[in-house]
Amino acid sequence: MRVLVLGGTLFLSAQIARDAVARGHEVTCVARGRSGQVPEGVRLLCVDRAHHGALEVLVDDRFDAVIDVARAASRWVVDALDVLADRTQHWTFVSSISAYADSATVGQNTEAPLREPIWERANDLTELTAERYGSIKVASEKSVRERVGEQRSFVVRPGLITGPADPSDRFGYWAARFAQGGRAIIPDTPHQPIQHIDVRDLAAWIITAAETGLTGTYDAVGPLTDLGSLLQETAQLVGTTDLELIPIAPETLTESGVNPWAGPKSLPLWLPTEEHGLVTHDPAPALADGLTPRTLADTVHATLADERRRGLGRPRKAGLTPTEEQELLDRGH
């Protein structure tokens, strides 16, 4: 196949490009080249999608499959559709679980209500909040379905993506933290639900969908587990002998200014009850139609290897710094 990846220099889109090349497809990526490099064997077209009309460079190209991971603007998605929708056989849009309006109710599926779509104006620089991100995804999905048609479009809504080279530093925080040993703070929320999908499994499914013509809308999520098991098993798999896990109550964490889920001064993957809907979507349809999650051991070992390459002690986008963690421990927790 001739495959176009709108993206290709970071995490999921880079893995999609890598996987497609490995399967013998001819792959073109469109990106600015700022987030990283495209995988070996891929043609990169350096384009800034923020410039309306920039995708006109593709006007003479034909692709069997297009995969778009746009997140910043639904305008970008519409621009790509304008140039390519009429002559592309299969179109994947990578949406998000954030497309859903209700983040509290557990056990939702693709029938659940979505956020109101936002088709933003050109060059709209409004800050990308979680709500806005979800609304842009909803608008983008709708544009893809309308322009490409239900018969040729594949829309995936991932929840938490894990695995190597994750720029959000969420799951990698735990692998790297446990590898460093000592007293490691974890949230005392052992029964909190969680689900994740390894980036390599999601990428593989997306390429298979293009190869086989799978269409429809799916929650691209893995099986349900709980955070206590996930962290305990991760610690065991990392295998550091002098590691001690110190659970701290969520109220204490909140009082101490520790954030849930992601970002600075956080305990990644910890979620307040009112957000449990984000990590409890029904995985059955995706699993039935080809999404194949690998073992946690594989995800942990590959993530840890990547963390070691990038430096266990490097500054991160998510988690506690050693100083923040020590301050909490010194307060007697």
Ligand X SMILES: NC(=O)c1ccc[n+]([C@@H]2O[C@H](COP(=O)([O-])OP(=O)(O)OC[C@H]3O[C@@H](n4cnc5c(N)ncnc54)[C@H](OP(=O)(O)O)[C@@H]3O)[C@@H](O)[C@H]2O)c1
For ligand X, the binding residues (CB under 6 A) are 7-13, 31-35, 47-50, 69, 71, 94, 96-97, 158, 160-161, 168
On the CB side of 300, how many CA atoms lie within 13 Å of its CA?
A: 18
* N- to C-terminal Cα separation, the chain: 56
Torsion-angle region of 221 (φ positive above 0: left; ψ -120 to 50: alpha; else: beta): beta
Q: Compare residues 9 and 189 and give the one whose CB is closer to ligand X.
A: 9
Complex with ligand X: residue 8 or 222, whichever CB lies closer: 8
- 316: tokens are 């991160």
Q: Which is nearer to ligand X, 48 or 124 (CB)?
A: 48
Helices (H), the chain: 11-22, 74-84, 130-148, 170-179, 199-212, 227-238, 250-255, 284-288, 296-310, 322-330
Structural contact between residues 219 and 159, judged by C-beta atoms closer than 8 angstroms = yes
Computed on alpha carbons and rounded to an integer, the radius of gyration of the chain in Å comes to 20
Shortest distance, CB of residue 9 to ligand X, whole angstroms? 4
Going by their DSSP bridges, the two strands 266-268 and 225-226 should be labelled as unpaired
CB of 224 to ligand X, least distance (A): 16
**Shortest Å, Cβ 182 to ligand X:** 28
With beta carbons less than 8 A apart as the criterion, state whether 21 and 37 touch.
no
Residue closer to ligand X by CB (options 123, 254) is: 123
Bridge partners (DSSP) of residue 65 are 3, 90
Cβ proximity of 262 and 202 under 8 Å: no
Distance of closest approach, residue 66 Cβ to ligand X, in angstroms: 14
Residue 16 C-beta: closest distance to ligand X, Å: 8
Q: Which residue lies nearer to ligand X by CB, 197 or 328?
A: 197
Which residue, 8 or 187, is less far from ligand X as judged by CB? 8
Residues 45 and 27: their CA atoms lie apart, in Å, by 11
The residue among 174, 188, 97, 104 whose CA lies nearest residue 141 is 97
Minimum separation from the CB atom of position 165 to ligand X (A): 9
Q: How far is the CB of 59 from ligand X (least distance, A)?
A: 17
Q: CB-wise, 230 or 248, nearer to ligand X? A: 230
